[in-house]
Amino acid sequence: MKDNLSVSIVIPVFNEAENLSELMERCLKACGSMDHSCEIILVDDGSIDASEDKIVEAARMNPGIIKGVFLNKNYGQHSAIMAGFEQAKGDIIVTLDADLQNPPEEIPNLVNQIKLGYDVVGSVREKRQDTLFRRMSSLIINKTVQKVTGVMMNDYGCMLRAYKRYIIDAVLNCPERSTFIPVLANSFARTTTEIIVKHEERHAGNSKYSILKLISLQFDLLTSMTTFPLRLLSIIGGIISFFGVGFGVFLMVMRIIFGAVWAVNGVFTLFAVLFILIGAQFIALGLLGEYLGRVYNDVRARPRYYIHHIIDKQENQ
């Protein structure tokens, strides 16, 4: 007999046609193992393969359980999840990637932790099956987020997470366009915890995160949660200026003692100092540009996404 709690599982999908059949089978089994009513929301993030057809077929075969939400183009993983949050009706909302690296069988464990009273339950990937670059990037991100937010969760990069309803409602009420959901959700949570989950190799297809997309994600994360880099630039600028003055005094003294030949008449020294200052200025301008770009996007107030159509039980009837 099912209790009154309901669970929504939100899965962003982008060109995952080869994984969807197995994903749906395993998700439905996970839902069947819980004493809760469940819905599975598949958000197609502008896929160009057969993902849309697979989702439509699954939704029509499982009316009332599987819902397909189709965006008109690719907006990115976090925007797709936000679109799924808007459609979710559950008391507990679980997010999951479609690549099957994080097993759906862990969903009941996340739900059980929420029932113990936690607001947010994260997951820590055991024996990660990722490249060294991605593992090192995650390590840097996790340490940075811990330092800035003060919430000591160990794996912000794993999207297998569970949230209470009020946390998702708070997230949906936030107007900013550059959103990193785990960090934003934790800012509203009173109690958080993590569980260890298995991490498997990708069953089919390729990762949708190229190096450039990972770098873009790092900037989104950094600029969406803190203005510390702007303060850091002021500190670095002050340090560089201090050393520049000190270096100038040193060169002047050495030139007086050893003559102009010692410093090659100051040409190379001038270039070295100039390059350092120009490099620092470009870094500063780049970070300022990131923040100004996000302010520009928020001022325009364009939607994070546009839902082209939805396949659910109403359409099946």
Domain that holds residue 307: 6-210+303-316
pTM metric for this prediction: 0.72
In a domain, 26, yes or no: yes
Helix pair angle (165-172, 77-87), 10° resolution: 120
First to last CA, the chain: 26
Distance of CA 99 to the CA centre of its chain: 16
Torsion of CA 298, 167, 68, 215, to 10 degrees: 50
The reply to whether 134 and 204 lie within a common domain is yes
Q: Is residue 175 part of a domain?
A: yes
On whether residue 307 sits in a domain, the answer given is yes
Measured between alpha carbons, how far is residue 18 from residues 26, 40, 46, 48, 252 in Å?
Answer: 14, 18, 16, 13, 68
- Model pLDDT, residue 110: 95
Judgement on whether residues 97 and 33 belong to the same structural domain of the protein: yes
Question: Would you say residue 118 lies in a domain?
Answer: yes
For residue 221, tell me if it sits in a domain.
no
134 and 266 inside one domain: no
Mean pLDDT (the chain) is 79
Provide the CATH number for the domain around residue 22: 3.90.550.10
Is residue 167 a contact partner of residue 119, using CB atoms and an 8 Å limit?
Answer: yes
286 and 187 in a common domain: no
Q: Do 132 and 253 reside in the same domain of the chain?
A: no
Residues 127 and 248 grouped into a single domain = no
Number of domains in the chain: 2
Residues 239 and 189 in one domain: no
Please indicate, yes or no, if residue 223 is contained in any of the structural domains. Answer: no
Regarding predicted confidence, which is higher, 310 or 68? 68
Q: Specify whether 155 is located in the same domain as 248.
A: no
Query: 57 and 177 in one domain?
Result: yes
Q: What are phi and psi of 180, to 5 degrees?
A: -110, 100
Span 6-47, pLDDT tens digits? 999 999 999 999 999 999 999 999 999 998 999 999 999 999
**113 lies in the same domain as 176:** yes
Check whether residue 171 and residue 279 sit in a common domain.
no
Tell me the per-residue pLDDT of 203-220, one tens digit each, with 9 for 90 and over.
655 655 556 666 666 666
Could you tell me whether strands 161-164 and 192-198 are parallel, antiparallel, or unpaired per DSSP bridges?
unpaired
Q: Are residues 82 and 145 in the same domain?
A: yes
- The neighbour count for residue 105, using CB atoms within 10 Å, is 14
Average pLDDT over residues 182-211: 76
Asked if the structure places residue 120 within a domain, the reply is yes
